[in-house]
Each structure stands twice: as structure tokens, then as C-alpha cells.
Copies of this chain bind each other. A is one copy, B any other.
């Protein structure tokens, strides 16, 4: 980056160089890439969430026999119950969900996955596909004794065409590996998220990960061109097109994007990758009201338009938490405002981008849309500004535990949820210095209408849970929002899907699941455990398994 640049009096330099908390890669062109797993320490939870929804194992599923294990050994390498390594496959990253799988399968090819599923289907053995296991809703770990199908060993980059920018890779390729590979070719993976050092591309697609730059590169439904998947009965569906346009019948791959592994296991993905932007800028500014945040967003879309790659909101509470836990000085001096915004631009011409961003900030200061702001002068400063956004999830666990909600709400009312939840917890006498709840805070991707509501607590408490749920879900339902913006349903949200999808839609989903994986109540032969459980237990919600989740929460 340019070492110096024109900064107006109004827009000041960052006060200090803040050490990065969790920012994996900000300016990746030619820079060293850190692995997010390094900094993704597990939360030091001293409290355990209550699990009032524990259910019995569905005994329509067969129990694993020595003959089954012997058969699987003839297909691929396995980890059995005796192995110490099996623990890591039984627990999610948050240590919130734990299964009792006694077998982990490590197929090396699509054909292996096909053989495995075919056999499991015939034996009514329950399975759970697992990618990078970075999910947050308990979708990538077993809940009972399901067989884990790990995608770790199916991890080749199959091809890349530098003219069209189309990459074909196996499901088990780690997102960062793919992005590093693309960087060498002057391209960028059109998805970026905090877990990129661990999460798999197959899992990203299976869970329709959103991440940090959806605003710029759009959703995976638009960028994924094809998938190869193995259906529950072992059939290999080759829909691995490398064509941007192909209107020859139903776009089947779309069904697998976001279906969380419930109708098949994705084994390969074809995706269109844009040219890597050569310039990246970051600004951080203070805003007094949520109305002004919206005004700043409208102006950013208009004036930064094609180079706008992130527009992130952080409330003051979240910033105070980061400052308190990390002991760092905040980027902006002076009076605290209620909101802070991080704007990132990515473009092909540094000078043009600088000019656009400076003009944007000046105009916003002049008409008082924003109260104060800083512009990063180099990559270190940019990373530091990002750390005030990306550090939030980690510091929220500081006091013992945290309740997390990843929701979509029409923009106008997006922040009201934080205020209403806070008021409710105060009203219930649950928030305060000697109370279970530390505070209520909100942050997220304004550009996507995606709010992360976090409630840090000193201990997990049934009273807090009862105050939060179903209140939050009902609140969201009233505004036609989504109870899961980007994390998916997993086991955490399976009971609440009806707050976000209508009866007809749920009926169609259920019928599609039965169609792909015919679980008959009389004599079910399911391969995907959670689904069958859910279908047996309740009527509303057929989606429970996924491979991997975006932890940008």
C-alpha cells in the first residue's frame, strides 16, 4: 500500500497500531497468509449450556457391527473407537455438541463415498458428513452414534482455467488453500470468512456460507457453477458444469447449496472466481444513530458502488467489550457514539479507490452523517481496524459463556432487536453486575441485512434462555426475518425453522427430503440421521445435517 496519502483534517489517522485479534488475511496480494486455526482458540467457557432438547436415539437405525467395520475397511481408511483421534470428530468447535461416534470413515474419492453411502443405505446405518467441522449449530458432528464420513482426504484442486476464472476442486479442499492457489493466478475465491484456514469448500457450499464479502461477490447460488454429489443411495450425481450459462432443465446443484448434507454429500464444486483486486482500503467511522448508519450505507452504495466490498456495523457495547478484554485503545478518540462502521473497498486502481473513499468520507463528515472517522494508511492499520470488528465474537466468551443469534432482519428494524432484547433482560432482572447477563450487543453485515446478536453471560441459565427464546424468534417472525442468516439450522435451530418458513414451504422441503431419501414411517431406511429423527419427532422441519458452517457470527 502507499505509505502516505492525502488525509484531510477531518479524517484523522488511527490513534494507535492495534495488534490484530482474529483477522486472518486482509490484504492478500503477495502478503503472508495466516491460518485462522492458529488464532481460533476455543472459547474458555466456564459454564455449560443447558440442553433441554436432548432426544432419544432413533432405533430404526441399525447399530454398527464388526462386520460393518470390516466392510468399511475394505473401502477406505477408518478410525475406530479405540483411536484417540476420534474425539476430535465427535465434538464441534464450540464444544457445545458431542456425539458418540465409534467409527470415522476417510474416503479418498467420490467412488469411495458412493460405496459407503450405498452400504449404509442398505444397512440403515446413520451417517453424518463432516468437512472442516467449523460449524456453529451442531450440524457437522454426530449426536448419537452416527458414522462420521470425513471429507479431509478428498482434497485435490482438479483444474483452474485462467481465462474464464473457473476453478474445479474437491469438497475437502480447505478454503484458504484454494484462495492461496488462486492468488498465485491473480484470482480470488468469491467467499471469505474467519474459519478459512480450516473450513472446507464442500462444507461452505453445503451450508451456503455467506461471509465477509457477499456484498461484493454475491451468494454461492450465483457463483457456484456445478456440484458433484453422492445421493443417499450412493448414486453419483455429476452436475459439475463449468458453464456460466446452461438453461437445459432444472438447476439441480442449487438444491444442494445450503441443504446441509441432508439430500447428498457434495464431493466436488465448480465455481467462478473473479480477478483479485489489486487495491484494498479500510475506513472506520463513528455514527450517532442507526438512521445515519443507513444513510451512510445508501451513500456508500452510490458513491463507492462497484468497489464496496464490506460495510460492517458494530455497536458501542461491542467496541467497549473488545477494549475491555484486549486492553487496547480504541481507534477513535473523543466522545463515544452509539455505532461504528467499517467500510472496505477492493478495486483494480489504488488511486481511484483512494479518491472515491476520501470523497465519500469527506461528504459524510460535512453533512454530519458520520461523526468522526479514520482511514487505514497501510496494511497493518487496515488489519488493526478489522480487528475491532473481527475480535467481537472471541471477546464475547470472556465472562463465561455467550448466547449467539445469527439473524436476518429487514434493514430498517435491524438494530431494534438488540434494544428490545436488552430491555427485556433488564425487565426480567437478568442483566447487571451481579446478574447472569453481562450485556447485549449487536454487530454484523449491514450490506446483507445480517445481524449477529450476542448475549455474553457469566453462566448459562435456564431463566435467561426462557427470556430469550422464543421471544427472539417471534420477534423475527413478525418482521419476516430469518432465524438463521448464514449459520444454517444444524441441530441448534431445527426446532425453530417454522419461524422463518411458511407451512407450504416446509411441506415442500419435507417432501423433497423424503423424495431424495425415502424415509417411510413404516419401515424407514434413512442414511442421514438427523433428518429421520426430526421427521419422526415433529412435522415442521426436515433439515438437520450439514458439513460445515461459517463462524463469522
Contacts of A506 in B (CB 8 A): 249
Per-residue CB proximity of A167-188 to B under 8 Å, as 1/0?
A: 0000000000000000000100
Our pick among B254, B349, B356, B408 for the contact of A244 (Cβ within 8 Å) is: B408
Give the residue name and chain of the B residue nearest to A237 (CB): B504
Residue in A243, A249, A542 whose Cβ sees the most chain B Cβ within 10 Å = A249
Per-residue CB proximity of A485-510 to B under 8 Å, as 1/0?
A: 11111000100010011101110110
Contacts of A349 in B (CB 8 A): 352, 355-356
User: Closest CB-CB distance, A160 to chain B, in whole Å?
Assistant: 13
Contacts of A449 in B (CB 8 A): 164, 243-245
* Interfacial residues of chain A within 125-161, with CB under 8 A of chain B in the complex: 161
Tell me if B515 and A221 are in contact (CB < 8 A). Answer: no
User: Closest CB-CB distance, A503 to chain B, in whole Å?
Assistant: 9
Give the residue name and chain of the B residue nearest to A482 (CB): B246
User: Closest CB-CB distance, A484 to chain B, in whole Å?
Assistant: 5
* Interfacial residues of chain A within 331-388, with CB under 8 A of chain B in the complex: 346-349, 352, 355-356
Tell me if A251 and B249 are in contact (CB < 8 A). Answer: no
A247-B486 contact, Cβ under 8 Å, with A221-B254, A294-B163, A505-B238: yes
Determine how many copies of this chain the complex contains: 2
* Interfacial residues of chain A within 455-483, with CB under 8 A of chain B in the complex: 480-483
Tell me if B277 and A163 are in contact (CB < 8 A). Answer: no
Contacts of A275 in B (CB 8 A): 301-302, 305
**A69 within 8 A of partner (CB):** no
Our pick among B163, B165, B488 for the contact of A247 (Cβ within 8 Å) is: B488
User: Closest CB-CB distance, A67 to chain B, in whole Å?
Assistant: 30
Tell me if B410 and A161 are in contact (CB < 8 A). Answer: yes
A505-B239 contact, Cβ under 8 Å, with A186-B302, A222-B218, A250-B259: yes
Give Cα distance in the complex from A322 to B141, angstroms: 62
Q: Total interface residues on A, using CB and 8 Å?
A: 94
Give Cα distance in the complex from A294 to B162, angstroms: 10
* Interfacial residues of chain A within 392-417, with CB under 8 A of chain B in the complex: 408, 410-412
Residue in A208, A244, A355 whose Cβ sees the most chain B Cβ within 10 Å = A244
User: Closest CB-CB distance, A498 to chain B, in whole Å?
Assistant: 9
User: Closest CB-CB distance, A356 to chain B, in whole Å?
Assistant: 6
**A110 within 8 A of partner (CB):** no
Tell me if B543 and A243 are in contact (CB < 8 A). Answer: no
Contacts of A263 in B (CB 8 A): 250
Give Cα distance in the complex from A543 to B208, angstroms: 27
Give Cα distance in the complex from A350 to B223, angstroms: 28
Give Cα distance in the complex from A307 to B274, angstroms: 13
Contacts of A78 in B (CB 8 A): none
Lowest 7 A-B CB distances belong to which pairs? A222-B222, A254-B254, A305-B348, A306-B306, A245-B485, A246-B482, A243-B408
Residues of A within 8 A of B (CB): 161-165, 186, 207-208, 210, 214, 218-219, 221-223, 235-239, 241-252, 254-255, 257-259, 263, 274-275, 277, 294, 297-298, 301-307, 346-349, 352, 355-356, 408, 410-412, 445, 447-450, 480-489, 493, 497, 500-502, 504-506, 508-509, 511-513, 515, 541-543
Known interface pairs A245-B486, A305-B348; 19 further A-B residue pairs with C-beta atoms within 8 A, sorted by A's residue number: A164-B449, A207-B247, A210-B245, A210-B247, A236-B504, A243-B480, A243-B485, A247-B487, A247-B489, A248-B489, A249-B259, A249-B489, A249-B542, A250-B258, A250-B259, A255-B255, A277-B306, A348-B356, A349-B356
